[in-house]
Structure 1
Amino acid sequence: MNIFKQFYRSLYSPKDIASFRFQGIGKTIIYLVLLTIIASLPNLYYLNKGINEAIHTFSVTMEEEVPSFTISDNTLHTDNDKEPTIIEKPDLTIIVDSSGTYDHAKINSYGNTVALLKNEFVIVTSGQAQTFDYSSFGNISLTNEELIEFIQTMDSLAYVFIIILVVIYILFMLIYKVLQTLVLAMFGSFFSKIFGRTLTFAQCWKITVYSTTIPVIFFAIMDCLQTIVPSGYLLNWFISLFLVCLAIKEVQPEKPLQP
């Protein structure tokens, strides 16, 4: 049975899932990679969209709305050193503050933010702030025109960074899926003893991989709709474990030897 038929059967048939325990380990690994890619696609799509929109918005805003500034001697200088400039866009806030009014702790109260502060550069994404002192780049000298030119270069090369992020994200997701299926396979081995089924750990792991198909599809759809599932992490594990149990129960118990 090819991998796509296995995918279809795994959506509704615990009996078929149980039968997949006899296939080679390599095919199961390929299937796990396929599930990982499916689970990653929605988040990668929105990540790609967000990065492109953020870079474009930042570039246009810097060029058209941000006042002139320079960074020299590791300090930001603007024409107005008494109050900050705050530009709020739907998905991005840009702050230019040479007055010292803001620091990275105060920036955390905003959503997605790019802030040029008196002595540091701050990026806030998903509530997490990354701070870089100007001094960490050496004794730089930078104007807003040079920064705009750099951002426009980044905009044209964004696909390179996105590809790198995609690879890293899928690798981390694959590691997570491997660990998840190994833990579930341990529970599967325990259940196989309770149900009186004779299964090796490798067979339990193969059953586990295919049993995660339904939760992967469900949460991928929720991610596409950008819908948060309450206690989604626990629900994912519970559904997977329940399907592992159903598949193991479909394994025929060994008949006792006749005397």
Structure 2
Amino acid sequence: MNIWKSFFYSLFSPTMIGQFRRQKIGRTILYVFLLVLITNIPAAISISSFAVTAGERLQHVLSEDIPDYEVESGTLAAESEQTPYTTHIDNTLVILDDSGQITPNDLAGEANVTALLEDRAFMVADGTVEQLEYGAFSFTKAELQEATGSFLELLPAFIALILILLYLFASGMKFIGVFAISAIGLLLKKIYPARLQYGHIWVMSAYIATLPSVIGTFLDFIGRNGDASFWIYWLIAIVMSILVFRTLPIPKRRQ
């Protein structure tokens, strides 16, 4: 059976998962990497889309006719008669405020914002909030425009690096999860005395992780990734483990 069919059957068939116990460890490790790749596609798309959208929006905002400004020793100074300066460019609210009148809390509920406040840069892109304190940075409007243009040229490489690091981290966490499920399997072995070695249990645990991982990804996608998703993941993993062990053949006792 190819690895894609294994993924398909792992979503609903405890019987097939039980039969997978005879697979080699190497194939199962490859399956775990594939599972991580599949379940992280929505996150990768979201991160890439946000980075590209935010970068293009920032470049567009900076290229428009807004007052000159500079950040010196972590504080904004804007050359504008209107304080704070606000305008709408396309569907984005643009703010320059060196007076401290506006705070990030005042922008709650805004869908798209690019704001240079007194002590930090603040951006909201489609409801996703990012902010960065100036700290020791010093720059002018022209320098920021130039730096933004250079950054956008390198943005695909940065996104690729971030996604690779995210994938490696997620893979590490998934293997930890598989080992945790295998610990549940060792406890179930005492209840369901099937003829199993630890390698068999670990292989089954990798496939048992499929359904809770996919459901967890779906909950993240619809924005329901709170504390409940953690408990849902492990509830599904425990129930699936029990169902799998119930399908395993129990050796007959000798007369």
TM-score range, shorter chain: 0.7 to 0.9
Equivalence for 1:131:
133
Matched, 1:251 2:253: no
5 Å-filtered alignment, 1:211-226, equals: 211-221=208-218, 223=220, 226=222
- Given candidates 224, 228, 237, the residue that maps to 1:228 is 224
Local SS of the residue matching 1:77 = strand
Matched, 1:22 2:22: yes
State the AA in 2 paired with 1:132.
Answer: Y
Residue deviations 1:129-185 (CA, integer Å, cap 9, x gap): 44231x2x4xx4x32122112112222221111101101111221122112121111
Matched, 1:237 2:228: no
Taking a change above 3 Å as real, the CA distance of residues 151 and 127 of structure 1, as seen in their structure-2 partners, is closer
Q: Does the CA-based 8 Å contact 1:122-1:132 persist in structure 2?
A: no
Matched, 1:175 2:177: no
Equivalence for 1:202:
199
Q: Does the CA-based 8 Å contact 2:122-2:130 persist in structure 1?
A: no
Moved more, 111-120 or 212-221: 111-120
Taking a change above 3 Å as real, the CA distance of residues 221 and 110 of structure 1, as seen in their structure-2 partners, is closer
Equivalence for 1:10:
10
Taking a change above 3 Å as real, the CA distance of residues 217 and 72 of structure 1, as seen in their structure-2 partners, is closer
> How much has 1:207 moved relative to structure 2?
0.8
Equivalence for 1:164:
161
Residue deviations 1:205-241 (CA, integer Å, cap 9, x gap): 21111112223334445555x3537722221221122
Quick one: distance in 1 between partners of 2:89 and 2:218? Answer: 29
Moved more, 206-215 or 43-52: 206-215
Local SS of the residue matching 1:196 = coil
Equivalence for 1:60:
60
State the AA in 1 paired with 2:193.
Answer: G
Quick one: distance in 1 between partners of 2:174 and 2:233? Answer: 12
State the AA in 1 paired with 2:184.
Answer: F
Q: Normalising by structure 1, what TM-score?
A: 0.82
Quick one: distance in 2 between partners of 1:41 and 1:115? Answer: 31
Local SS of the residue matching 2:134 = strand
Identity of aligned residues (%): 25
Gaps of 5+ in 1: none
Gaps of 5+ in 2: none
Quick one: distance in 2 between partners of 1:53 and 1:204? Answer: 45
Local SS of the residue matching 2:76 = strand
> How much has 1:89 moved relative to structure 2?
7.3
Q: Does the CA-based 8 Å contact 1:36-1:170 persist in structure 2?
A: yes
Taking a change above 3 Å as real, the CA distance of residues 90 and 255 of structure 1, as seen in their structure-2 partners, is farther
> How much has 1:26 moved relative to structure 2?
1.1
Local SS of the residue matching 1:157 = helix
State the AA in 1 paired with 2:71.
Answer: I
Q: Does the CA-based 8 Å contact 2:74-2:134 persist in structure 1?
A: no
Taking a change above 3 Å as real, the CA distance of residues 155 and 22 of structure 1, as seen in their structure-2 partners, is same
Q: Does the CA-based 8 Å contact 2:59-2:149 persist in structure 1?
A: yes
State the AA in 2 paired with 1:76.
Answer: L
Local SS of the residue matching 1:12 = coil
